[in-house]
Amino acid sequence: ELTRTIRQFKPDLVVCQNAVRHYANLGGNHPDHLAAGQGAIEAIYPFARNPYSFPELLAEGLEPHTVREVWVTGTEAPDHFVDVSATLEAKLEALRCHRSQQRDDPGERVSARLAEVGKPHGMAYAEAFRRVSSR
């Protein structure tokens, strides 16, 4: 389905989870997040661009598509930072809806982390990504 979606919408950019287990912060290694990242990366390369992958999609008129760039979250080596100050409250509200995964209100913890990421880059709050060319 991910390959189908990429071929259907033909994005230039895909943002996804990190598919690589890291040991600096074991809490960032949730199996669902790793699997989502792996699935996204595999859909981007090789499947979405390869005309021989999923021939049924080609038969449906969904031509191969090459995503230009991937922004990976949760990486140990981020190289791109996005100011999220204007959308911080919306992010926190969305996280608060994920009650089954939160013991406490995530607002203070998430705000502090995003402030820590943003400060060296002159931003009040920022998200960190690793930019990967997929061309």
| Distinct helix (H) and strand (E) counts, the chain | 5, 4
- Domain total for the chain? 2
- Does residue 52 sit in the same domain as residue 95? no
Domain boundaries, position 61: 1-76
pLDDT at residue 62, rounded to an integer: 98
Inside any domain, residue 109: yes
Inside any domain, residue 133: no
* Residue 69 dihedral angles phi and psi, to the nearest 5°: -145, 150
Tens digits of per-residue pLDDT, 15-27?
Answer: 999 999 888 777 7
- Does residue 114 sit in the same domain as residue 55? no
**Domain final residue, candidates 58, 76, 94:** 76
- Does residue 65 sit in the same domain as residue 86? no
Following CA atoms 108, 76, 84, 42 in sequence, which dihedral angle do they give, to the nearest 10 degrees? -120
Tens digits of per-residue pLDDT, 54-109?
Answer: 999 999 999 999 999 999 999 989 999 999 999 999 999 999 998 887 788 889 99
- Does residue 44 sit in the same domain as residue 3? yes
